[in-house]
Amino acid sequence: MTLDLSGIMVATVTPFTPDGAAIDHDWIPAHLHFLEQAGIRSVFPLGTNGEGPSVGLEERRRLVETVVANKGGLGVVVGVGTPALPDTIRAANDALEAGADAIAILPPFFEAHVDSTGLLRYFDAVVDAIPAPGRVLLYNIPHKAQVDIPDDVVLALLDLHGDRVIGIKDSSGIVERTSRYLEIAQEAQSFTVLAGADAYHDVLYAAGCDGAVTGLGNAVPHLILAIQQAHRAGGDASRAQRELERLREMMTPYPSYAALKQLIGITAKLSAPCVRPPQRDLTTEEQKNFEAAIVSYLRGE
C-alpha cells in the first residue's frame, strides 16, 4: 500500500501476558480493528509506547508478522532502534521481510555524547544494509534516547539516500526544534516532519506539521483526529488539545505505559494487557481509582 504520512499514526502498545512473560498476539487484531474503524491511517509498533527496547529480536519479528497479518488497510512503520548496530540492522531487515511499509530508526540511545559523524555512520550503515526499496523514518526523542538528531545528519542522510529517507518523527516537544526540521522539509519535498508529542499537536500543526504520531491515540483516536481536523478546517484545535491535556493530567500519577493500557481497556472495550519489567502494572487499588476517574471523565463529569 501507499504509506500516508499525512494522517494519524498510532504508536501502538505491545500487549504482554502477566509479568511480561510473553507477547499476547491474540490481543492485537481487535485493537488494530478499533484503530482502523476510528479513522487511523497507520500504526507504529515497537516504538516508545510499544516498549520496543524491552522486546527481543525474535519477538520483534513475530510481532510484526502478527501486525501485518491483521493490519487491514493500515500502514505499518516498525520501530527498529537498538543501542547495538548489528541488532538494529537485523531488526530492520526482519521488519521489512515481514511486510512492514517502512522502518523507524532511533539514534543509538545510551551514547549521549556521540557527534554528528558517529550518528551519520550509524544511520547510514542501517540504510545501506536494508533492501533498496526499504524506506526509513528517523525518530527523534531526545528526552528518552538522550540524543538529538542534528540537522546536519538529516541533511547528509537525504544527500546519501534521497527519498528513501521519508521523514522524521519529532517527539522533542520543542517547537523551535521541530521548525528546523520543517525548514529541511521545504527543501526536500519527499521528506515529512511528523508531530510526535501529544501535548503539543495543535502547536506543531500550526508550525507546519501535517501528520502526527501519537501514543494516546491507542485509546482515544477520535480526540487525536479532532485536533488535526480542526486545524485543517481552520477551526479551534486548542479545544480538543485541552481535552487531551486533561486526560494526560489524569494519567500523570500512574506509571505511564500501564495507565495507557488500562485506558485502552476502557475506551476500546478490550482486556487491559500487561507491561514488561522494568515497567510495572497498576496495583488493584490504582486500577480501581484510575478507572473511576476515567469513567467520570468520559461521562463529562
CATH number of 170's domain: 3.20.20.70
Q: What is the mean pLDDT of residues 170-192?
A: 94
* Structural contact between residues 68 and 60, judged by C-beta atoms closer than 8 angstroms: no
Bridge partners (DSSP) of residue 179 are none
The amino acid present at 181, given as its one-letter code, is Y
**Beta carbons within 8 Å of 260's beta carbon, 6+ residues apart:** 13, 49, 215, 216, 218, 219, 251
Q: How confident is the model at residue 1 (pLDDT cuts 50, 70, 90)?
A: low
pLDDT at 97 over 70: yes
pLDDT at 2 over 80: no
Asked whether residue 300 is domain-assigned, the answer is no
Asked whether residue 179 is domain-assigned, the answer is yes
Q: What is the mean pLDDT of residues 211-227?
A: 97
Q: What is the mean pLDDT of residues 192-220?
A: 96
Query: Reduced to 3 states, what is the DSSP secondary structure of residue 43?
Result: strand
The pLDDT value recorded for residue 299 is 85
* Structural contact between residues 172 and 141, judged by C-beta atoms closer than 8 angstroms: yes
The pLDDT value recorded for residue 113 is 84
Q: What is the pTM of this model?
A: 0.96
Query: Could you give phi then psi for residue 118, rounded to 5 degrees?
Result: -65, -40
Asked whether residue 257 is domain-assigned, the answer is no
Closest CA to 11 of 276, 234, 217, 292: 217
* The total number of structural domains that make up the chain: 1
Asked whether residue 124 is domain-assigned, the answer is yes
Query: Reduced to 3 states, what is the DSSP secondary structure of residue 78?
Result: strand
Write out the DSSP string of 114-173: --HHHHHHHHHHHHHHS-TT--EEEEE-HHHHS----HHHHHHHHHHHGGGEEEEEE-S-
Asked whether residue 296 is domain-assigned, the answer is no
**DSSP state, 55?**
S
Asked whether residue 139 is domain-assigned, the answer is yes
* Structural contact between residues 213 and 46, judged by C-beta atoms closer than 8 angstroms: no
Structural domain harbouring 219: 8-236
Q: How confident is the model at residue 189 (pLDDT cuts 50, 70, 90)?
A: confident
pLDDT at 190 over 70: yes
Asked whether residue 273 is domain-assigned, the answer is no
Q: Which helix (H) or strand (E) holds 61?
A: helix 57-69
The pLDDT value recorded for residue 300 is 80
Asked whether residue 265 is domain-assigned, the answer is no
Whether omega for the bond prior to residue 108 falls within 30 degrees of 0, making it cis, is no
